[in-house]
Amino acid sequence: MATALARKVATKVFTDDLGFTVVRYHDTDIVKVSENYIELNTGGWFTLTTKRRMNQVSSAYNLGFYVYQLNGSWYAKLDEVRYRFNGRKVVIKRGN
């Protein structure tokens, strides 16, 4: 499924020099995943497509988060914990 994600328009999936799995949409690394963290970054583009692509990444890699908008603010939810985007980004700690 990750291969299908890489075939999406303007989307690239790669591993960076630090070992993070990175999903880049246009020029923004919208999702960076390590063993301990998930970083979501809108790059300032609070669009339906950015949100959709983040959720597709979560599904493709079985990350368990969901990005949504409520009253004009963006949130990510993982394990019943809601994280609010701080400006363009949100960082979620994985595991215990």
pLDDT tens-place values along the chain, 96 residues long: 455 665 667 899 999 999 999 999 999 999 999 999 999 999 999 999 999 999 999 999 999 999 999 999 999 999 999 999 998 999 999 875
At residue 38, the 3 state secondary structure works out as strand
Q: What is the pLDDT, as a whole number, of residue 2? A: 59
Q: What is the DSSP letter of 23?
A: E
Q: How far is CA 50 from CA 5, 18, 19, 80, in A?
A: 13, 24, 23, 22
Q: What is the pLDDT, as a whole number, of residue 95? A: 74
Q: What is the pLDDT, as a whole number, of residue 31? A: 98
- Report d(CA 26, CA 28) in Å as an integer: 6
Q: What is the pLDDT, as a whole number, of residue 7? A: 64
Q: With beta carbons less than 8 A apart as the criterion, state whether 47 and 88 touch.
A: no
Q: What is the pLDDT, as a whole number, of residue 38? A: 97
